[in-house]
Amino acid sequence: MKFFIDTASLSEIRMAQNLGVLDGVTTNPSLMAKEGITGTAPVHAHYKAICDIVDGDVSAEVISTDFNAMIEEGLLLAALDNKIVVKVPMTEDGIKAIKYFSTKQIKTNCTLVFSAGQALLAAKAGATYVSPFVGRLDDISVDGLALIREIRTIYDNYAFPTQILAASVRHSAHILGCAKIGADVMTGPFQAIFSLLKHPLTDSGLAQFLADHKRVAAQSNN
């Protein structure tokens, strides 16, 4: 499973990259705004900076909602770097845009997916990635991981090449659940990725190893 980080923070992206497990980045207008980045030129420059850090795909979301504007905006984003994946919302015009981009060999990420039917349409249109939102479904008492499982079954039935990018991942249990089901990619905050490192028995075991080493070394010096 690929690990993407869902952020526009260059420092967080660098931390994840330095950990050695980062495969890509996803962003959205909200994450850009959180970093205080607004306006076309600054946003495009920020995407370029992200692409300079990572080796894998970088999802850059269109703000436009109608077909022609999505195409215009998406073509500009795709021209920034060959790592850019044009992120398009799950709407009627969004599906049309994904189909257009797929005919031009431009990578796409269909976002805001909340049903297996939406994921099926995205795959039919040729999306590179489909982003079902696990955490947001959990927020309304719907099993987000169950949606990942449904999409996995459908895509496997027909050998769709579209990759399942589990989005709105909140914590390590989400990551492990997606891994068990067979999601191709997960995207989440750095802390969720970092939390996979932690276990109290690892900490106590290491402390014991170091204490034993120190004790034996002290005895050898006597």
CB-neighbour burial class of residue 157 (10 A; exposed 0-12, middle 13-18, buried 19+): exposed
Element (H, E) at 220: helix 200-220
Q: Any idea which residue has 């089901």 for tokens? A: 181
- Please give the Cα distance from 89 to 109 (Å, whole number): 8
* Distance from C-alpha of 58 to C-alpha of 8, rounded to nearest angstrom: 10
DSSP letters of 89-153?
ESSHHHHHHHHHHHHTT--EEEEEE-SHHHHHHHHHHT-SEEEEBHHHHHHTT--HHHHHHHHHH
Active-site annotation holder among 87, 96, 99, 124:
87
Residue 56 structure tokens: 């894998």
Residue 184, CA distances (Å) to 10, 53, 103, 109 in order: 24, 22, 23, 13
67: left (phi > 0), else alpha (psi -120 to 50), else beta?
alpha
Rounded to whole angstroms, the Cα distance separating 219 from 222 reads 5
87 is catalytic: yes
Residues with active-site annotation: 87
